[in-house]
Structure 1
Amino acid sequence: MKAPWPLTVATYNIHSAIGGDGRFAPQRIADVLNEIRADVVALQEVPLGDDRRPDVLAALAASTGYIPVAGPTIDRPGRHYGNAVLSRYPVNAVRYLDLRFGRSEPRGALDADIDCHGHPLRVVATHLGLRPAERRAQVKKLLETFDTDAMPVLLLGDLNEWFMWGRPLRWLTTRFEKTPAPNTFPSLRPLFALDRIWIHPRQRLVKVWTHRSHLARLASDHLPLVAHIAG
Structure 2
Amino acid sequence: MRTLRLLSANIQAGSSTRRYSDYVTRSWSHALPAGSKRSSLDTIAQLASGHDIVGLQESDPGSLRSGFTNQTRYLAQRAGFRFWTHQPNRSVGGVASSANGLLSQIEPVRTVEHALPGRIKGRGVLLAHFGYGDHGLAVAVAHLSLGARSRMAQLAFIAELLQDHPNAVLMGDFNCLADQPEMQVLYRATGLRPPECAVPTFPSWKPQRAIDHILISGQLRCAGARAVPAAFSDHLALAMAIDVPESALRA
TM-score category (smaller protein): 0.7 to 0.9
What secondary structure does 1:170 align onto? helix
- Equivalent positions of 1:101-120 (< 5 A) are 101-102=118-119, 104-115=120-131, 120=136
Q: Deviations over 1:180-210 (max 9, x none)?
A: 3300011111011110001111652222111
Unaligned runs of 5+ residues in structure 2 are 19-25, 27-34, 245-251
Q: CA RMSD in A?
A: 2.4
Amino acid at match of 2:237: P
Task: Give the direction of change, closer, same or farther, for the CA distance of 1:11–1:95 in structure 2 (3 Å limit).
Answer: same
Unaligned runs of 5+ residues in structure 1 are none
Q: What's the offset of the Cα at 1:80?
A: 4.1
Q: What's the offset of the Cα at 1:10?
A: 1.0
CA distance in 2, matches of 1:90, 1:203: 19
Q: Does 1:219 align with 2:235?
A: no
Q: What's the offset of the Cα at 1:96?
A: 1.0
Task: Give the direction of change, closer, same or farther, for the CA distance of 1:165–1:9 in structure 2 (3 Å limit).
Answer: closer
* TM-score (ref. length: structure 1): 0.85
Amino acid at match of 2:51: A
Q: Percent identity?
A: 25
Task: Give the direction of change, closer, same or farther, for the CA distance of 1:98–1:217 in structure 2 (3 Å limit).
Answer: closer
Q: Does 1:98 align with 2:111?
A: no
CA distance in 2, matches of 1:190, 1:181: 11
1:187 matched residue in structure 2 = 204
- Equivalent positions of 1:70-219 (< 5 A) are 70-74=86-90, 78=94, 80-102=97-119, 104-115=120-131, 120-149=136-165, 152-162=167-177, 164-174=178-188, 175=190, 176-179=192-195, 180-201=197-218, 203-211=220-228, 216=229, 218-219=231-232
* Residues 26, 60 of structure 1: 8 Å contact kept: no
Q: Deviations over 1:74-132 (max 9, x none)?
A: 26872542101111111220111111312x2510100011359xx94211000000111
Task: Give the direction of change, closer, same or farther, for the CA distance of 1:76–1:184 in structure 2 (3 Å limit).
Answer: closer
- 1:25 corresponds, among 28, 37, 43, to 37
- 2:7 corresponds, among 2, 10, 21, to 10
More divergent stretch after superposition (137-146 vs 71-80): 71-80
CA distance in 2, matches of 1:76, 1:19: 20
* Residues 83, 109 of structure 1: 8 Å contact kept: yes
CA distance in 2, matches of 1:168, 1:33: 33
What is the total number of aligned residue pairs between the two structures?
219
Amino acid at match of 1:126: A
1:38 matched residue in structure 2 = 51
CA distance in 2, matches of 1:139, 1:56: 27
* Residues 158, 186 of structure 2: 8 Å contact kept: no
* Residues 9, 230 of structure 2: 8 Å contact kept: no
Amino acid at match of 1:222: H
Which stretches of structure 1, 4 residues or longer, exceed 6 Å deviation after superposition? none
* TM-score (ref. length: structure 2): 0.78
Q: What's the offset of the Cα at 1:217?
A: 6.3
